[in-house]
Amino acid sequence: MSSTTINRKTNHQKPHTPKSFLLGIVKTAGGTFLGLTLLSTSAIAGGMVGLAISFRNLPDVRVLNNYVPSQTSYIYDVKGLLLTTFHGEEHRTSVPLNELSPQLKRAVMAIEDSSFYYHNGINPASIARAVVVNFKSGGVTEGASTLTMQLVKNVFLSHQRTFSRKLAEAVLAVRVEQVFSKDQILEMYLNNIYWGHNNYGAETAAQSYFNKSAADLTLPEGAMMAGIIQAPEVYSPLANYDIAKQRQALVLNRMADLGWITPEEAEKAKKTPLKIGKSKAWQSSKLPYVTDAVREELIKRFGQETVIKGGINVQTTIDYKLQMEAEAIVKKAHRNLRASGVRADQVALVSIDPRTHFVKAVVGGIDYEKSQFNRVLQSRRQPGSAFKPFVYYTAFATGKYTPNSVIPNYTRGFREGGGYYRPQNYGGGGGGGSVTINNALAHSLNIPAVVMGQKVGLDKVIEVCRTLGIKSPLQPVVSLPLGPIGVTPMEMAKAYATFANNGWQSETTMIMQVSDSLGNVMLDNTPKPQLVLNEWATASLTSSLQNVINGGTAANANIGRPAAGKTGTTSGERDVWFVGYVPQLSTAVWIGNDDFNRSLGRGVTGGGYAAPIWRDFMNTALKNEPVKYFPSASQFTKPKP
Which residues are the active-site residues? 112, 385
| DSSP assignments along 67-100, one per residue | --SSB-EEEE-TTS-EEEEE-TT-B-----GGGS
The candidate with the shortest Cα–Cα distance to 224, out of 172, 163, 274, is 274
What is the rounded CA–CA span in Å between residue 205 and residue 193? 10
* CA atoms within a 13 Å half-sphere pointing along the CA-CB vector of 202: 31
Long-range Cβ contacts of 58-61 (<8 Å, 24+ apart)? 58/156, 58/168, 58/171, 58/172, 58/175, 59/156, 59/172, 61/152, 61/156, 61/172, 61/175, 61/176, 61/179, 61/180
Q: In the β-sheet with 313-316, what is the strand arrangement from edge to edge? A: 82-86, 73-76, 313-316, 511-515, 521-524
Among left, alpha and beta (phi > 0; psi -120 to 50; other), residue 104 is alpha
Residues in the chain: 641
The two counts, helices (H) then strands (E), for the chain are 24, 16
What is the rounded CA–CA span in Å between residue 529 and residue 508? 11
What is the rounded CA–CA span in Å between residue 120 and residue 176? 9
Q: Does residue 70 contact residue 199 with C-beta atoms inside 8 Å?
A: no
Cβ atoms < 10 Å from Cβ of 137: 13
- Phi then psi for 414, rounded to 5 degrees? -135, 140
The candidate with the shortest Cα–Cα distance to 452, out of 358, 536, 388, is 388
The candidate with the shortest Cα–Cα distance to 348, out of 324, 376, 384, is 376
- Burial (0-12, 13-18, 19+ Cβ within 10 Å), 64: buried
The H or E element containing residue 577 is strand 575-582
Sign of CA dihedral 590, 595, 600, 602: positive
What is the rounded CA–CA span in Å between residue 86 and residue 75? 8
